[in-house]
A and B are shown apart, each in its own frame.
Chain A
Amino acid sequence: METIFLSGFSVFRPEPGMILWALVFFLTFWFLVGKFAFKPITNALKTREQSIQDALDEAKKAREEIQNMKSENEKLLAQAAQERAVILKEAKEMKSQIITEAQDKAKEEAQKIIASAKTEIDSQKNAAIAEVRNNVGGLAIEIAEQVLRKQLGSDAEQKAFVQKLVDNAKLN
């Protein structure tokens, strides 16, 4: 076995030729693939991973933004609801105010109308009374005229006549 090992086991001996070629080919391979293959590959892998990471980050950001928008929307909705309530309340208040104001105004107006009606009535009454007075005065003068015309008759007739006129006047 020893002789075989020594004579035949040539792969175990460092040969200058093989060492030289191994050195040349390994260094060449290192240079070639390192420069023209592994560099672009690792760069491409890095860029791709970066872009994937960026996309993930962006998705996360977008999701957060949507979340933010949602909460903002909710906030807006709540605000709108509140505002609506306020507006409704104000409107209600305004409505009741308008109604009371209208009522007050109507009352006032009515008062005014009543008051002016009253004065009208008073003035009409006074005018009527004055007219009545005037009529009664005329009537009295008429009666007195007729009485004066009849004075030339008897006293009794006069008396009966006056009585008759008075009665007639009373009946009127």
Chain B
Amino acid sequence: MKKIQFFKVLMLALFVSLGVVGFAQHGEEHQPAEHAEKHEAGKHEEEFNLAEEALAHIANANAIHVFGDFYIPLPAILYAPGHGWSFFMTSKFDAHHHGNGEKAIDHYVMKHGVIHRIADESFPYGEVAIDGFAHGKIEKDGKEKDVAYAVVNGKQYLLDEKSTLDGGMLGGGKTSYMDFSLSKGAFTMLLVLLLAFWLFRAVAKGYERNKGKAPSGVQSLLEPVILFIRDEVAIPFIGKDKYERYFPFLLTLFFFILGLNLIGQFPLAGNVTGNFSFTMVLAIITALYVNFSGNKNYWEHVLWMPGVPSVLKVLILTPVEILGVFIKPFTLMLRLFANIAAGHIVLVAFVGLIFIFGHSGQSMAGAGAGTVMAFLLSMFMMAVELLVAFVQAFVFTLLAAAYFGAATEEAHH
């Protein structure tokens, strides 16, 4: 556990230092309040903004950027109240440079690989060619907000972002449409699902083939991991007689998170475990499973702790325990999300250093030295991320097992 703490401290330090870097970048490269990105060739005079780049890299997208202007399209499933459902492949947007689409489809446009919607009802439905995108700021609830526009025939149309469930608390909220597309993140999940299922079927078949014999191949690669989860996580926390019921769920958690963490290390794949929506789903499923597994003893300890004066129970213990029921999954959700998202941001920041040195290269020696340093830092960060991929999958599973253990523990008074 000491090692895990050490790496958490390391991650925190890196995250904080990144914040400083990002802030400095933002301060230095403050862009003019409004500037248009036109698609015309040879007119790309955009400045490199590290913070924006990092956040764009960990964000979900509706197409997979392979290299240059080449994008793998994904299915778009969109719903706009008043208009209805729209289904199409995102290749229809004709996205090239920076993932900016050259067409609007039924009010939808693609900007930086992400679908947005033109809320303005005067805009025509169907396919409409767009000239480009523009940025601006508007006043909303007394706060300045960055917004983007689609430019069509010299007119700017405000772009809506997809609806989110935070009610505006985290800068989202209900907008004119909802996005249920099989996004980059969802596609990555599907990929991991299929890969992992294929892998574990191979392992299961190995057990049939090598019945009564020593394991071989991929079977011997994964068996120690499965045994580790069983002998070091499930049995110690849940108990030898009860663990079997929860063991498949724990394995599912561990390998799904691990698979997504690992695939997230690849440049093309989406960042799923560093996406709040995903960790939220995992945490909620875990919490529901834990609390529905809770026995009498568990609920007694939550609601009416035995052996404690009633006054204390009513005033302190019961409220705290009930809060704990919600805080436990909340920490599960935040821990995984923050660790992975932070790791990716730091990595993008280090890789981004190469571009910063390249862009600002007034002194060749400085640029070279900076690039070497950035390269070494990126390598280090990748190694740390690899470790974090395992550690976070393990920690999530371990804590889930601990919660199951607490929920199914028998009274021992």
Taking Cβ atoms with an 8 Å cutoff, the residues of A that contact B are 1, 3-23, 25-30, 32-34, 36-42, 44-45, 48, 51
Give B153-183 as 1s and 0s: 1 = Cβ < 8 Å from A's Cβ atoms.
Answer: 0000000011111100011100000111111
Contacts of B277 in A (CB 8 A): 13-15, 18-19, 22
Contacts of B59 in A (CB 8 A): 8, 10-11
Known contacts A12-B170, A15-B164, A18-B183; 14 additional CB pairs below 8 A are A1-B26, A6-B143, A6-B171, A11-B271, A12-B337, A14-B165, A25-B186, A26-B189, A26-B252, A26-B285, A32-B197, A34-B248, A38-B247, A44-B204
Q: Are the CB atoms of A21 and B186 closer together than 8 Å? A: yes
Q: Are the CB atoms of B179 and A17 closer together than 8 Å? A: yes
120-145 of chain B: CB within 8 A of chain A: 137, 143-145
Contacts of A14 in B (CB 8 A): 164-166, 276-277, 280
20 sampled A-B residue pairs with Cβ under 8 A: A1-B19, A4-B51, A4-B52, A5-B171, A6-B145, A7-B146, A8-B55, A9-B55, A11-B60, A11-B274, A13-B164, A15-B60, A18-B277, A19-B280, A29-B196, A29-B252, A36-B197, A38-B247, A38-B252, A42-B226
Q: Are the CB atoms of A36 and B201 closer together than 8 Å? A: yes
Q: Is B22 an interface residue (CB 8 A)?
A: yes
What is the chain B residue whose CB lies nearest that of A32?
Answer: B197
Contacts of B223 in A (CB 8 A): 45
Q: Are the CB atoms of A13 and B196 closer together than 8 Å? A: no
- Chain B nearest Cβ from A45, distance in angstroms: 7
Q: Is B281 an interface residue (CB 8 A)?
A: yes
Q: When A and B form their complex, which 6 residue pairs have the shortest distance between CB atoms, in order from nearest? A: A6-B171, A37-B200, A44-B207, A18-B277, A21-B186, A8-B55
Q: Is B211 an interface residue (CB 8 A)?
A: yes
Q: How large is the interface on B (under 10, 10 to 19, 20 to 34, 35 or more residues)?
A: 35 or more
- Chain A nearest Cβ from B64, distance in angstroms: 15
Q: How far is the CA of A30 from the CA of B256 in the complex (A)?
A: 9
Q: How far is the CA of A42 from the CA of B341 in the complex (A)?
A: 33
Q: Is B399 an interface residue (CB 8 A)?
A: no
Q: Are the CB atoms of B189 and A21 closer together than 8 Å? A: yes
Q: Are the CB atoms of B144 and A13 closer together than 8 Å? A: no
Q: How far is the CA of A6 from the CA of B168 in the complex (A)?
A: 10
Contacts of A40 in B (CB 8 A): 204, 207-208
What is the chain A residue whose CB lies nearest that of B210?
Answer: A44
Q: Are the CB atoms of A33 and B226 closer together than 8 Å? A: no
What is the chain A residue whose CB lies nearest that of B179?
Answer: A17
- Chain A nearest Cβ from B247, distance in angstroms: 6
Q: How far is the CA of A94 from the CA of B242 in the complex (A)?
A: 76
Q: Identify which of A3, A20, A21, A30 contacts B252 (C-beta below 8 A).
A: A30
- Chain B nearest Cβ from A97, distance in angstroms: 68
Q: Identify which of A8, A10, A17, A44 contacts B186 (C-beta below 8 A).
A: A17
Q: Are the CB atoms of A4 and B55 closer together than 8 Å? A: yes
What is the chain B residue whose CB lies nearest that of A7?
Answer: B146
Q: How far is the CA of A30 from the CA of B281 in the complex (A)?
A: 13
Q: Are the CB atoms of A4 and B170 closer together than 8 Å? A: no
Q: How far is the CA of A41 from the CA of B221 in the complex (A)?
A: 13
Give B178-205 as 1s and 0s: 1 = Cβ < 8 Å from A's Cβ atoms.
Answer: 1111110110011001001100110110
- Chain B nearest Cβ from A9, distance in angstroms: 6
Taking Cβ atoms with an 8 Å cutoff, the residues of B that contact A are 19, 22-23, 26, 51-52, 55-56, 58-60, 77, 114, 137, 143-147, 161-166, 170-172, 178-183, 185-186, 189-190, 193, 196-197, 200-201, 203-204, 207-208, 211-212, 223, 226-227, 230, 244, 247-249, 251-252, 255-256, 271-272, 274-278, 280-282, 285, 337, 341
Q: Identify which of A12, A17, A36, A45 contacts B183 (C-beta below 8 A).
A: A17
Q: Are the CB atoms of B282 and A33 closer together than 8 Å? A: no
Q: Are the CB atoms of B255 and A33 closer together than 8 Å? A: yes
Contacts of A34 in B (CB 8 A): 248-249, 252
Q: Are the CB atoms of A17 and B180 closer together than 8 Å? A: yes
What is the chain B residue whose CB lies nearest that of A14?
Answer: B165
- Chain B nearest Cβ from A29, distance in angstroms: 5
Contacts of A30 in B (CB 8 A): 248-249, 252
Contacts of A36 in B (CB 8 A): 197, 200-201, 204
Q: How far is the CA of A156 from the CA of B10 in the complex (A)?
A: 181
Q: Are the CB atoms of A15 and B162 closer together than 8 Å? A: yes
Contacts of B337 in A (CB 8 A): 11-12
Q: Identify which of B51, B186, B203 contacts A41 (C-beta below 8 A).
A: B203
Q: How far is the CA of A40 from the CA of B280 in the complex (A)?
A: 30
Q: How far is the CA of A25 from the CA of B257 in the complex (A)?
A: 12
Q: How far is the CA of A42 from the CA of B252 in the complex (A)?
A: 13
**Given A14-B165, A15-B165, A39–B248 Cβ distance below 8 Å?**
yes
Q: How far is the CA of A5 from the CA of B171 in the complex (A)?
A: 8
What is the chain A residue whose CB lies nearest that of B78?
Answer: A17
Q: How far is the CA of A15 from the CA of B280 in the complex (A)?
A: 10
- Chain B nearest Cβ from A149, distance in angstroms: 139
Q: Identify which of B23, B181, B190, B272 contacts A17 (C-beta below 8 A).
A: B181
Q: Are the CB atoms of B166 and A13 closer together than 8 Å? A: yes
Q: How far is the CA of A41 from the CA of B186 in the complex (A)?
A: 28
